[in-house]
Structure 1
Amino acid sequence: MTALVAIEHVSHSFGAARVLDDVSLSLAHDSYTVLLGPSGSGKTTMLSILGGFIAPQQGRVLIKGEDCTAMAPAKRPTATVFQDYALFPHMSIGANVGFGLRMMGMARREREAQARAMLDVVGLSASFERKPHQLSGGQRQRVALARALVVQPAVLLLDEPLGALDLKLRRQMQDELKAIQRRVGTAFIHVTHDQEEAMALADHIVVMNHGRIEDQGPPERVYARPATRFTATFMGESTIVPGTAAYGMIDTPLGRFPAGLDARHVAIRPEHVTLGGPIAATVQDVVYQGSFKRVTAQAGETTLLARLPAAAAVSVGQQVMLAIDPAHVIVLKD
């Protein structure tokens, strides 16, 4: 099947700053893709190019097989949900949702019916006559989502839509966003710098850094077997340990692990470090985080992170013996 979105060799600069550098990417129908990366990685510029708000200096963008590179935002089959929602404060919720249909010339009765139906999809059918100031932040976010979806875009673009919400509401909206995407079947492309948000939402994660794609794939693979050192450190916490590869193994200060001849480092996730093993370490810090304790321990010259059970009896200054699960050690070439 032809990709829904194809980004081909896109590059863009702002002055002397190269923000996208020969980026190519294909995205499938019905997918929930998250563009993930730190500030300055190029993810927001990529979203703006997809939405038509920026024309790339090089490369092209195809949506549903049509070259949309020079197409105006209103002409391309996309809709965008911004972080500030941009609702019209003087309009009712129903009028806000139906605004795009009104601009398309749809008759009032039909657009109101479609607006009501879409508000029902996002769980706000009772709010048709209300004004934006009468709703919570999470409800306004769902109104913005309904307004974007009601025009039936092929691709919905979301620019850090949960960034203004508190932690509890953000997690609630993550569940709701994924449920809505599955229900309507529209492809979502979502920008965030939050790794947990990306893993909660995406079926396809694209990790960006310095205008390039570092890694991409299902969240489980990107987390468990990251392609680069940057991905290993950005997608959750890791202890990066240098090593020397020979005869199918890599020797490190923390032990020997299976590896190819091109291995240079290993990455160790804190959840794969346990008590009771051959590694002697001194506890440097203990942070209680409810379901687990985040422990920093010094093993020789290596500072090792461990995620131990909440009931583990560990304290600062204590000598402990640690083990690393070799099946989950991540071998890196860089």
Structure 2
Amino acid sequence: MTALVSIEDVSHSFGATRVLEAVTLALEQDSYTVLLGPSGSGKTTLLSILGGFLTPERGRVLIKGMDCTGMAPAKRPTATVFQDYALFPHMSIGANVGFGLRMRGVARPERDERARAMLDVVGLASSFGRKPHQLSGGQRQRVALARALIVEPAVLLLDEPLGALDLKLRRQMQDELKAIQKRVGTAFIHVTHDQEEAMALADHVVVMNHGRIEDQGTPERVYARPATRFTATFMGESTIVPGTVFNSMIDTPLGRFPASPGAAHVAIRPEHVSLGGPIPAVVTDVVYQGSFKRVTARTGHVTLLARLPAETAIGAGQEVTLSINAAHAIVLKD
């Protein structure tokens, strides 16, 4: 089966700075892909190349089997939702949503009808005649989404669309984005540096670092079995310790774990650390986070993170013993 989007050996630089290096990626129809990485990892540059706002120095971009590498944004089967939404303040919500159809020469009665239908899809059917300043941030985000979807793109590109929203609204919009994507069936490609957002939305996560793809796959696989040390630290928290392999086991300061040849480090997720066990430690910090306590403890020369139940009675300076669920230890190669 041919991929909906094929990025083939794409590289790009800004002056002397290389921002993408030989990126190759295939994305499927109906998928929700999140490009995840820190600032400077190349994710926004890659999105700009997909949208036609940049032409790569090397490589090509195919969408629906068509070479779109040098094609203008308006000519390719994509639409983009920007972080600032870019709504026209003097236009009604209906006119904003129908703007792309207007540029394609669609008559007003038809574009108004389609705009109303698309506003209904994003839950804003009653806002057709209002102006952007009369809506909340989350509502304006949904208007921008409707405006992009109404032109029926094969791929919708979202450039950190939730970055300007507060935490509660951001989580609400995550649920709404996923539901809308499933309803319309368009492939979404979403850029963020927020790991929780990536795991909440994506069925395909692409972790980027220094212009390269570090890892990709389902959120569950990338989190539970990251391919690289960078992924293990960026996709959630981990305590990473070095080790030495002998007889199919890796010896570390935190114990022995099953390993294959070439293993060099073990990553321990904080939710796999519990009270009671063979590891003596001293608690150095406790942060209450509602549903759990984030505990930092020192054992030898290792600082170990643990996620303990919220009701756990524990405080800084306390001596404890800890155990690690070896079945969930993540063994990493160099």
TM-score range, shorter chain: over 0.9
Instruction: State the partner residue of 1:227.
Output: 227
Return the offset for 1:148.
Answer: 0.1
Answer yes or no: is 1:62 the counterpart of 2:62.
Answer: yes
Structure 1 residues 64-213: aligned runs within 5 Å? 64-213=64-213
Letter of the structure 1 residue corresponding to residue 149 of structure 2: L
Letter of the structure 2 residue corresponding to residue 191 of structure 1: V
Q: Residues of 1 paired with 2:142 and 2:293: CA distance?
A: 35
Contact 1:225–1:330, Cα closer than 8 Å, also in 2: yes
Instruction: State the partner residue of 1:3.
Output: 3
Superposed CA offset, 1:243-284 (max 9, x none) = 001111000011000001210000000000000100000000
Name segments (4+ residues, structure 1) moved above 6 Å: none
Partner-residue secondary structure (3-state), 2:307: strand
Partner-residue secondary structure (3-state), 1:85: coil
Q: Residues of 1 paired with 2:85 and 2:316: CA distance?
A: 46
Q: Residues of 2 paired with 1:290 and 1:72: CA distance?
A: 48
Q: Residues of 2 paired with 1:238 and 1:39: CA distance?
A: 20
Partner-residue secondary structure (3-state), 1:182: helix
Q: Residues of 1 paired with 2:151 and 2:310: CA distance?
A: 48
Q: Residues of 1 paired with 2:132 and 2:311: CA distance?
A: 46
Q: Residues of 2 paired with 1:170 and 1:273: CA distance?
A: 30
Q: Residues of 2 paired with 1:247 and 1:118: CA distance?
A: 61
Instruction: State the partner residue of 1:22.
Output: 22
Letter of the structure 2 residue corresponding to residue 91 of structure 1: M
Q: Residues of 1 paired with 2:290 and 2:84: CA distance?
A: 32
Q: Residues of 1 paired with 2:161 and 2:16: CA distance?
A: 29
Return the offset for 1:116.
Answer: 0.4
Return the offset for 1:312.
Answer: 1.0
Return the offset for 1:311.
Answer: 1.1
Partner-residue secondary structure (3-state), 2:73: coil
Letter of the structure 2 residue corresponding to residue 38 of structure 1: P
Letter of the structure 2 residue corresponding to residue 176 of structure 1: E
Contact 1:247–1:261, Cα closer than 8 Å, also in 2: no
Structure 2 unpaired stretches of 5+: none
Return the offset for 1:239.
Answer: 0.2
- When normalised by structure 1's length, the TM-score is 1.00
Return the offset for 1:147.
Answer: 0.1
Q: Residues of 2 paired with 1:270 and 1:17: CA distance?
A: 36
Count of aligned positions: 334
Instruction: State the partner residue of 1:214.
Output: 214
Q: Residues of 2 paired with 1:313 and 1:176: CA distance?
A: 37
Superposed CA offset, 1:97-140 (max 9, x none) = 00000000001100000000000000000000000000000000
Q: Residues of 2 paired with 1:37 and 1:307: CA distance?
A: 24
Superposed CA offset, 1:199-220 (max 9, x none) = 0000000000000000000000
Instruction: State the partner residue of 1:320.
Output: 320
Structure 1 unpaired stretches of 5+: none
Contact 1:101–1:111, Cα closer than 8 Å, also in 2: yes
Letter of the structure 1 residue corresponding to residue 55 of structure 2: A
Structure 1 residues 272-311: aligned runs within 5 Å? 272-311=272-311
Q: Residues of 1 paired with 2:325 and 2:78: CA distance?
A: 45
Superposed CA offset, 1:17-62 (max 9, x none) = 0000000000000000000000000000000000000000000000
Q: Residues of 1 paired with 2:286 and 2:107: CA distance?
A: 63
Contact 1:94–1:128, Cα closer than 8 Å, also in 2: yes
Identity of paired residues, percent? Answer: 83
Instruction: State the partner residue of 2:265.
Output: 265
Partner-residue secondary structure (3-state), 2:263: coil
